[in-house]
Structure 1
Amino acid sequence: MRKILVVGAGQSGLQIALGLQSQGYEVTLMSNRTADEIRTGRVMSTQCMFHTALQHERDLKLNFWESQAPKIEGLGVSVAAPGSWAEGPAARAIDWLGSLDGYAQSIDQRVKMAGWMETFAQRGGQLVIHGAAVGDLDYFSRTYDLVLVAAGKGELVQMFARDPERSPYSEPQRALAVSYVHGLGPRPEHPDTEGVRCNLVPGVGELFVMPCLTTSGRADILFWEGIPGGPLDVFNGVKDPAEHLSLTLELMERYVPWEYARATKVELTDAGGTLAGRYAPTVRNPVGRLPGGGLVLGVADVVVANDPITGQGSNSASKCAAAYLSSIVERGDRPFDEEWMRATFDRYWATAQHVTKWTNTMLAPPPEHILNLIGAAGELQPVADRFANGFNDPADFENFFYDPEKTQAYLVEVSGAGAA
């Protein structure tokens, strides 16, 4: 029986640990917090998982909350008319809703990670509550067949060198501010459709709104992404949750009044329902070398950390876990050497590279052909639907999004099909 250590109990670390456990591996999971501390702590993310990532959970029978969580069937895009907020509340220039082929879901990571961690322990897994340092891993690398580092923050990440060729940004591109709320009303245009709403305010930032399941039941997430130094970059140092929500709503009233109109009665889900911060999107070398010569393999956002503007964090973590799980099982009794580690990461990068390219594109001011595409989706439902489903499979953006000629050819084709 092969012994594997997983450091970090997020989406990817727990998915791998539970998957290996079900295959008969001897798995140790290290977390710096207990399940109760996670459940009663602060929100950790704005996870919205699309069909492929959800299916990886179903395959491992880990979809414990699927029947309780809202089923997100659409993804909408609204664009504020540039400069329309100068004299008063902004006006919408573009507004549409695309249909997802398979529904998405958002489950507060406090609910999921705490539940999965308890399941891992109940199934006989060894759970160690301890923050791991590089020195600890030096020792563990000699006692385990494989050490996976899935803790995306702290000193362990520094073991994995930044890959400058794959990391165009060295500074954070957005200031992030999250509020989990109860009491949000439906969008009046589509009152019966649960949807993720992407509101783009040119030159200012973005507001994302998504239904979720949290510790107190159904809720919604309000998530601002502000261009650093701009009018949305005001959450730094705000410690009071009520002040955080008040700022969020104030900015909504000015820049996305159509979303503010349904948020006038909202209240925070709990005292831990806010989050703010920023980080530079970074791709890192997947293999970490320990002082004693041992090697560890980085997982998910340890090695590929994208900005959340495209909502891919938990999706990528699930896809990384699925890829790594297959590589570990296929390896059998052979050593988990550096060559295997790099090949395992490359298997994940085949998917992740599309996420990174798309995310980095969305962080930059949009070129004219992308604005045309997003505008056309308001008139052509197939375009709206295809864009929405790109959140599940970002590889498809290669076919119609980046290249102006491909975009134009696609729009001509869809327009012609509509006319026919």
Structure 2
Amino acid sequence: MHRIAIVGAGQAGLPLAFGLLDKGYEVTVVSDRTPDQIRGGKVLSSQCMFGSALQIESDLGIDDWHDLCPPVDGISFSLQSPDPGGGPLIDWKARLDRPARSVDQRIKMAQWLVKLEARGARVLIQKAGVADLEALADTHDLVIVSAGKGDVAQLFERDASRSTFDAPQRVLSLTYVHGLKEADDYSRISFNVIPSVGEYFVIPALTLSGPCHIMFFEGIPQGPFDIWREALTPGDHLDAAKRLLRTWLPREADRAKRVELTDAHGILAGAFAPVVRKPVLQLPSGRPVFGLGDAIAINDPISGQGSSSATHACKVYLDAILAHGDAPFTRDWMEQTFEQYWTYAEAVTQWTNSLLMPPPQYRLKLLDAAVRSPAIASAIVNGFDHPPSFFPWWSDAEACERFIADRQDSVSNAPASRDLQRDGMNQRFATP
């Protein structure tokens, strides 16, 4: 049975380790922090996971928070006026076919590491560089790097043909809070878009101190949401978030009147450029190392796909390893395995990148049609669980027209929205 080393203790690498252990493989996991350091550190992500990814965790027997984490039963979408306090131009909601969930990764990764070691995995606490990868390659049949946020991921070559951007497209901010008012009917993600400014999400979640909400801002660089460098303390961070809501999103500000930080480490701010890297790193010795998850394909979190994509990548890699038997893990096998995952990830990347750009007029028409068509709203919302389902109608004007026409018989009596074409809304999405 092969010996496999996984560098990185995150949403892709740890579930893969569980799957391999269950099949009798010898597994080494390398983490740059102990479970206590993870649990006591800053939040890592908004990490909402949709139904198909949660099913993968459940099948692996590691969905330990199903009954503790508040479910996300749907998604609401609001296109706001670009004028401060101008209110929504488009406003609708729909239920997910299967609930989503967001569990603070400080809880998950810490508990998973402990559990893996108890099941027989070798857990090493160290940072990994080239020399460490060489040492692991000496003693293992396969070395996988899944440390997407670590320096080791930078060793993999950027794939220019698959990477649309070379700079951050949004400035990001997370604030974990208690006391945010629940949605009025069913638990859901609130997705608010403000042209030329950015996006704001509210995500029900579970954190160290119990159920909570995540206030998540995506700001266009140099725009009104790009203020987080001025927030020097956790309290400053929360005050800045509430101030933005009062200015730009009064309805969401009303929900957040009584919020308090869940803990002093429940904030995060920063920016990164979305990137796709080539999946194989050749070490100086000539031995190949295989990249996984965010180490190879990392998207902007505007589409909420990071944790779900990492879990889908884990499943593809696990199945490929098990099917490979006792054959050696060659560079060709690694590249072919990644291409299997890319058949899914390409749609995620294309859809996510589209959300970072001003929408074409036909897509505004689609979002507006969802106000009156429950079938269209449902298709958009449930696409978050399977982004390939967005195509071709999300990216092609003629296919989009047919998609809308095919669902006209489900149109409700909802009031018509403002004439978005008359308002020139696609032009008003231009960055400041």
Aligned match of 2:426: none
Alignment partner of 1:294 is 2:297: no
Structure 1 segment 6-405 matched on structure 2, within 5 A: 6-83=6-83, 85=84, 89-187=85-183, 191-236=184-229, 238-405=231-398
**TM-score, normalised relative to structure 2:** 0.94
Q: Is the 8 A contact 2:47 2:104 kept in 1?
A: yes
Displacement of 1:155 in angstroms is 2.5
Separation in structure 1 between the aligned mates of residue 240 and residue 145 of structure 2, nearest angstrom: 36
- Post-superposition offset of 1:346: 0.7
**8 Å contact from structure 1 (residues 142, 294) kept in 2:** no
Contact (CA 8 Å) 1:79, 1:201: kept in 2 or not? yes
SS at match of 1:378: helix
Q: Name the aligned partner's letter for residue 61 of structure 2.
A: K
* Deviation of the 1:139 alpha carbon: 1.8
Question: Are the aligned partners of 2:82 and 2:197 in contact in 1 as well (CA < 8 Å)?
Answer: no
Distance 1:246 1:236 in 2: 13
Tell me if structure 2 keeps the 8 A contact 1:159–1:289: no
> Within 2, Cα distance between the matches of 1:397 and 1:147?
34
Percent identity between the two aligned chains = 44
Give 5+ residue unaligned stretches, structure 2: 413-432
CA deviation after TM superposition for structure 1 residue 394, in Å: 0.4
Letter in 1 for 2:99: Y
Residue 3 of structure 1 pairs with residue 3 of structure 2: yes
| Contact 1:286/1:298 (<8 A) preserved | yes
Q: Distance in 2 between matches of 1:218 and 1:227?
A: 30
Look up the equivalent residue of 1:132 and give its one-letter code: A
Whole-Å separation in 2 of the counterparts to 1:314 and 1:44:
11
Give the 3-state SS of the residue equivalent to 1:4 in structure 2: strand
Unaligned runs of 5+ in 1: none
4+ residue segments displaced more than 6 Å: none
Residue 418 of structure 1 deviates from its aligned partner by: 4.1
Q: Which residue identity does 1:49 align to in structure 2?
A: M
SS of the equivalent of 1:15 reads: helix
Given the two structures, how large is their TM-score scaled by the length of structure 1?
Answer: 0.96
Q: Distance in 2 between matches of 1:246 and 1:357?
A: 35
Alignment-mate amino acid for residue 193 of structure 2: L
The answer (yes or no) to whether the contact 2:374–2:410 under 8 Å persists in 1 is no
Q: Deviations over 1:306-340 (max 9, x none)?
A: 00000000000000001000001111100000010
Residue 153 (structure 1) shift: 2.3
Is contact 2:375–2:410 with CA below 8 Å preserved after alignment? no
CA distance in 1, matches of 2:400, 2:139: 53
Q: Following TM superposition, by how much is the alpha carbon of 1:417 offset from its aligned partner in structure 2, in angstroms?
A: 4.6
Aligned residue identity for 2:165: Y
2:400 paired with 1:407: yes
Please say which of residues 151-160 and 276-285 is displaced more in the overlay: 151-160
| RMSD of Structure 2 on Structure 1 (CA) | 1.1
Task: Report the secondary structure of 1:157's partner residue.
Answer: helix
Preserved CA contact (<8 Å) 2:79 2:89: yes
Deviation at 1:236, TM superposition (A): 2.3
